[in-house]
Amino acid sequence: MYSGAIMDQNRIRVYRNADIKRVVAYIPPGHRHTRILIETIDGDIIVFQEATIAGIVRAYVNVSLHPQRQAVELVSRVMLPREKKPGFARDQLIESGRSEKEIFEELKNIIFYEEKS
């Protein structure tokens, strides 16, 4: 988890389509919710649960389809039963409320992003 210091570059992974061997969407027997399995060409396997994928999709749509928005941050939050819709997981990825400027400042330290003039 990011603590405010520069992260170890060895822990950062950027995956291109060429790095992915396959993606499998499935509902495990006896379960109701979809999982996404991603297998890399290096043999790593990453499995995301439905609530995580929902958060990623929500963030992606909020940035990609918005005419002005450039960044949004979701943070993990434990929801009380009265705070969430029925059927939703207790642990949710919720908008942090941080500004785009704050997000980009942090990204500069994480992935050495440079603003274009």
Q: pLDDT digit string (tens) for 23-75?
A: 999 999 999 999 999 999 999 999 999 999 999 999 999 999 999 999 999 99
In a domain, 68, yes or no: yes
DSSP state of 81: G
Single-letter code of the amino acid located at 70: Q
Higher pLDDT pick, 110 / 31: 31
Element of type H or E holding 54: helix 50-64
Using DSSP's 3-state secondary structure scheme, residue 84 falls into coil
What is the tally of structural domains in the chain?
1
Looking at the domain assignment, is residue 94 inside a domain?
A: yes
The contacts found for 56-63 with CB under 8 angstroms, 24 or more apart, are: 56/93, 58/93, 59/93
Question: What pTM did the predictor assign?
Answer: 0.78
| Residue of 28, 22, 17, 12 whose CA lies nearest to 44 | 22
Give a yes or no: residue 1 inside a domain: no
Please report whether residue 4 resides in a domain: no
In this structure, is residue 116 part of a structural domain?
A: no
Task: Examine residue 3 and state whether it is found in any structural domain, yes or no.
Answer: no
Give residue-wise pLDDT tens across range 81-98: 999 988 888 999 999 999
